[in-house]
C-alpha cells in the first residue's frame, strides 16, 4: 500500500468515524440521563433521510432548506417518542422502558415499510458533496471533509451548551442524581425532553449525512448504523460524551483500515464492530473513558 | 407553618408511616429522632413530594402540598438537605450553589445570597471552582447546607447533617444550624445524635416504626426516662 492510498483510507476512516461519533452522542446522552438504551435512535436516521427524500421529491424545495426541515421534524418525532413511550414508564423498572424502546424501533421500521415501501430509493446527493478535491495525490470528495467538520462544529456547540448554560448544568445534575435534581426545583421532565431534542437532532443530522454517504435509503437502513453507534458508545464508555466520540473514531477508522489492509476480510466489515464490542466487554467493561460506577448503598 | 395530619405512606409493600401528626411552628427548630427505619427520612421525603403519601394531609402556610410536584413544593419555600449530602460531585462548588437557586430569577438577590453563603462558609469560597466530589465530608456537608440556603427557603429540612462527620465538625454543623435559626429560619431536623439535637431543638418528636411515640419540648424529652434509655444510651 502506498502512502497516498493509506492517507485516502485514513481520510475515509476519519470521516466515517466522525459520523459514528455524532450518532453515538445521542445514545450516550440519553443513557446518561435516564439510563435507557434508546433503540429507536437508529431509526430516527431513517426518518430524517425519508423526510429529506420526500421534501425534495414532492415539494421540490432547495436541499439546504429540506435538510433543516428534516432535522426539525425528526427532532419533534424524537421528543414525541419520549413523551409517549418512555415518560409514562418513568417509575417502571428499567427493563420495561427498554422493551418499550425496542417496540418503538420495530414500529418505526414497519411503519416505514408500509408508508414508504420496502424498495430502496436513491437519495439525492447535491453536486457540492460529490465534487472531488485533490490534496496532493489524495482524492477527497467534499463530503469526506464536510462530515468531520459538521461533527466538530456540533460537538463544540454541545460542549458550550452543557458547560456554559443553565439547562446544560441542569442536564449534568439530572444525569448524576435525579431526586436531588428535583430538590433543586429542576423540572426533570423538561430536562429529559431537552436531552431528546439534542439527541434526536444529532441523529437527524447523522442520518442525512449517512444518506449522502450511502445514497440508497430503505426503511431498515437505521438498524445497522444504530447498532454500530451504540457499540461505539459502549466502547467509549456509555454515558460519557467524549467516550462516545472516541468510540466512534475507533470504530470508524478501525473498520476502514481493516478492510484496507485485509481486503479479504471486506465481507466481515460489520462483524468488526461486534468483535470490538466483545473484546471491550471482556477487557474493559466500563469502556475507554467510562468510570467505574459504584452502586450507591 | 408546616402541619402534618394523619399521614400514611406505603413504600414497596411496607407501611412506613402510620398516621403521623406533627407541626413545625415558624421560627423554631423541630427535631425528629428515632431508630433506623422509624420513618424519619420518609417523612421528610414525603413533605418534598419525592414520596407520594397514601392518605393524610400536609400543609405549608395553609396550602396543601399533597399531590404537588417537588418543583412546585420547593418554589413555595421548602428545601431539604438530603441524607448523605448528595452534592453533585462532577459539578464545581459554585455550580452546585447556582443550582440551589435554579428556580429563582431575581439575579441581584441571588448574588446577595451567594455572598451570605460565602460568609457563612468561607471554605466554600476558597474552593469555588473545585469539583464538589473532591471536597472532604465536612466541606460537602457545608456545601449541601449552602446549596439549600440558595433557594432562600422559609423552611429548611435537614436529614442527618452530622452523619459520618468527625466530632469537631459535628459541633460546627450544630453551631451553623443554631446561627441560621437565629437569623429567622424555621428548621426541621432529623438526627441520630439525639442528645445534641434535643438540646438545640425547641420541640421534638420520637418516631418508632412509623408512629409518633412521644413528643415534647427538647428539655422534656431529654428528661424523659424512655428517651434517656433508648436514645441517649443511659441506664
CA dist B102 → A163, A169, A190, B86, B147 (Å): 15, 10, 14, 16, 10
Are B120 and B190 in a shared domain? no
C-alpha dihedral, A7 to A13 to A17 to A19, nearest 10°: 100
From first to last of its 297 residues, chain A has per-residue pLDDT tens of 788 889 999 999 999 999 999 999 999 999 999 999 999 999 999 999 999 999 999 998 999 999 999 999 999 999 999 999 999 999 899 999 999 999 999 999 999 999 999 999 999 999 999 999 888 778 889 999 999 999 999 999 999 999 999 999 999 999 999 999 999 999 999 999 999 999 999 999 999 999 999 999 999 999 999 999 999 999 999 999 999 999 999 999 999 999 999 999 889 999 999 999 999 999 999 999 876 554 443
pLDDT for res B136: 93
ipTM of this complex: 0.91
B25 and B59, same domain (yes or no): yes
Closest CA to A239 of A55, A74, A49, A25: A25
Query: How far is A241 from A21, CA to CA, in rounded Å?
Result: 9
The total number of structural domains that make up chain B: 2
Task: From chain A, pick out residues whose CB is under 8 angstroms from the CB of B71.
Answer: 182, 185-188
Q: Does domain A3-283 have CATH number 2.60.40?
A: no
CA distance B158 to B161: 6
Which CATH number do you get for residue B202?
3.40.50.300
Q: Which of A179, A181, A185 sits opposite B75 (nearest CB)?
A: A185
| B56 and B162 part of one domain | yes
- Residue A297 is predicted with a pLDDT of 37
With CB atoms and an 8 Å threshold, state whether B89 touches A186.
Answer: no
Give CA–CA dist A297/B23, Å, rounded. Answer: 31
Q: Label the pairing between strands B63-64 and B55-60.
A: antiparallel
A-chain CB neighbours of B95 within 8 Å are 169
With contact defined as beta carbons under 8 Å apart, do A37 and A31 qualify?
Answer: yes
The pLDDT assigned to A135 comes to: 80
Chain A: closest CA distance from residue B79 (Å) = 7
How far apart CA B37 and CA B205 sit, in angstroms, is 15
Residue with cell 477527497: A140
Rounded Cα distance between B99 and B47, Å, is 21
Do both B165 and B140 map to the same domain? Answer: no
Would you call A178 an interface residue with chain B, using a CB distance cutoff of 8 Å?
Answer: no
Please indicate if any CB of chain B lies within 8 Å of the CB of A183. yes
Sheet holding B2-11, edge to edge: B14-24, B2-11, B55-60, B63-64
Q: Cα separation of B141 and B76, whole Å?
A: 24
User: What DSSP state is assigned to residue A220?
Assistant: T
> Which cell numbers hold the place of A177?
442524581
Contact assignment for B102 to A183 by CB distance below 8 Å:
no
Q: What's the domain range around B148?
A: 86-152
* Beta carbons of A91 and B51 less than 8 angstroms apart: no
> Which regions in chain B score pLDDT beneath 70?
235
Q: Are residues B6 and B23 in the same domain?
A: yes
Predicted confidence at residue B235, as pLDDT, reads 59
Residues B162 and B73 in one domain: yes
Q: What confidence score (pLDDT) does residue A58 get?
A: 92
B167 and B64 fall within a common domain: yes
A24, containing H or E segment: helix A3-34
| pLDDT for residue A224 | 95
Q: What is chain B's Cα-based Rg?
A: 17
Final residue belonging to a domain, choices B134, B152, B170: B152
- Residue A81 CA to chain centroid, in angstroms? 16
Q: What is the pLDDT of residues A247-262, one digit of tens each?
A: 999 999 999 999 999 9
**pLDDT value at residue B204:** 96
Q: In angstroms, rounded to a whole number, what is the distance separating the alpha carbons of residues A200 and B235?
A: 65
Rounded-to-integer distance, Cα B160 and Cα A66, Å: 57
pLDDT digits (tens, 9 = 90+) for A218-248: 999 999 999 999 999 999 999 999 999 999 9
CA B185/CA B173 separation, integer angstroms: 15
* Assigned C-alpha cell, B115: 455572598
A236, exposed or middle or buried, with CB in 10 Å at 0-12, 13-18, 19+?
Answer: buried
* CA–CA separation, A76 and A72 (whole Å): 6
For chain A, the first-to-last Cα distance in angstroms comes to: 56
Amino acid at each position: 500500500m502506498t502512502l497516498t492510498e493509506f492517507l485516502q483510507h485514513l481520510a475515509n476512516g476519519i470521516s466515517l468515524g466522525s459520523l459514528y461519533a455524532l450518532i453515538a452522542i445521542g445514545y450516550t446522552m440519553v443513557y446518561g440521563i435516564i439510563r435507557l438504551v434508546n433503540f429507536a435512535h437508529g431509526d430516527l436516521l431513517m426518518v430524517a433521510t425519508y423526510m429529506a427524500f420526500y421534501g425534495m421529491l414532492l415539494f421540490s424545495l432547495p436541499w439546504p432548506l429540506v435538510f433543516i426541515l428534516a432535522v426539525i421534524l425528526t427532532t419533534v418525532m424524537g421528543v414525541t417518542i419520549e413523551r409517549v413511550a418512555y415518560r409514562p414508564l418513568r417509575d417502571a423498572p428499567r427493563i420495561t422502558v427498554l422493551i418499550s424502546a425496542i417496540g418503538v424501533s420495530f414500529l418505526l421500521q414497519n411503519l416505514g415499510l408500509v408508508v414508504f415501501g420496502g424498495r430502496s430509493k436513491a437519495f439525492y446527493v447535491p453536486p457540492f458533496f460529490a465534487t472531488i478535491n485533490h490534496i496532493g495525490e489524495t482524492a477527497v470528495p467534499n463530503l469526506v471533509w464536510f462530515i468531520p467538520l459538521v461533527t466538530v462544529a456540533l460537538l463544540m456547540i454541545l460542549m458550550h451548551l452543557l458547560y456554559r448554560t443553565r439547562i446544560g448544568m441542569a442536564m449534568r445534575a439530572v444525569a448524576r442524581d435525579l431526586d436531588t435534581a428535583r430538590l433543586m426545583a429542576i423540572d426533570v421532565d423538561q430536562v429529559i425532553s431537552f436531552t431528546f431534542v439534542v439527541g434526536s437532532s444529532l441523529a437527524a443530522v447523522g442520518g442525512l449525512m449517512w444518506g449522502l454517504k450511502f445514497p440508497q435509503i430503505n426503511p431498515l437502513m437505521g438498524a445497522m448504523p444504530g447498532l454500530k453507534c451504540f457499540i461505539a458508545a459502549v466502547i467509549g464508555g456509555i454515558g460519557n460524551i467524549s467516550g462516545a466520540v472516541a468510540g466512534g473514531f475507533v470504530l470508524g477508522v478501525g473498520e476502514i483500515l481493516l478492510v484496507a489492509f485485509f481486503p479479504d476480510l471486506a465481507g466481515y466489515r460489520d462483524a468488526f464492530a461486534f468483535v470490538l464490542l466483545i473484546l471491550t466487554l471482556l477487557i474493559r467493561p466500563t469502556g475507554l473513558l467510562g468510570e467505574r460506577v459504584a452502586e450507591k448503598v | 407553618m408546616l402541619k402534618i395530619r394523619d399521614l400514611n405512606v406505603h413504600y414497596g409493600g411496607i407501611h412506613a408511616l402510620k398516621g403521623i401528626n406533627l407541626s413545625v411552628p415558624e421560627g423554631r427548630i423541630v427535631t425528629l429522632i428515632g431508630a433506623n427505619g422509624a420513618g424519619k427520612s420518609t417523612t421528610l421525603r414525603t413533605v418534598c413530594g419525592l414520596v407520594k403519601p397514601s392518605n393524610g394531609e400536609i400543609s405549608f402556610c395553609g396550602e396543601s402540598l399533597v399531590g404537588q410536584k417537588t418543583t412546585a413544593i420547593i418554589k413555595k419555600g421548602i428545601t431539604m438537605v438530603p441524607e448523605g449530602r448528595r452534592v453533585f460531585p462532577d459539578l464545581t462548588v459554585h455550580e452546585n450553589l447556582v443550582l440551589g437557586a435554579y428556580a429563582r430569577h431575581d439575579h441581584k438577590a441571588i448574588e446577595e445570597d451567594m455572598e451570605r453563603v460565602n460568609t457563612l462558609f468561607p471554605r466554600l469560597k476558597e474552593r469555588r471552582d473545585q469539583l464538589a466530589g473532591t471536597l472532604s465530608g465536612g466541606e460537602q456537608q457545608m456545601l449541601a447546607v449552602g446549596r439549600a440556603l440558595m433557594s432562600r427557603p422559609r423552611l429548611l429540612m435537614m436529614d442527618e447533617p452530622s452523619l459520618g462527620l468527625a466530632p469537631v465538625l459535628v459541633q460546627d454543623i450544630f453551631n451553623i444550624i443554631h446561627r441560621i435559626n437565629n437569623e429567622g429560619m424555621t428548621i426541621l431536623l432529623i438526627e441520630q445524635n439525639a442528645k445534641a439535637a434535643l438540646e438545640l431543638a425547641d420541640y421534638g418528636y420520637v418516631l418508632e416504626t412509623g408512629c409518633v411515640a412521644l413528643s415534647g419540648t427538647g428539655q422534656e424529652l431529654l428528661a424523659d426516662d424512655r428517651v434517656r434509655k433508648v436514645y441517649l444510651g443511659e441506664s
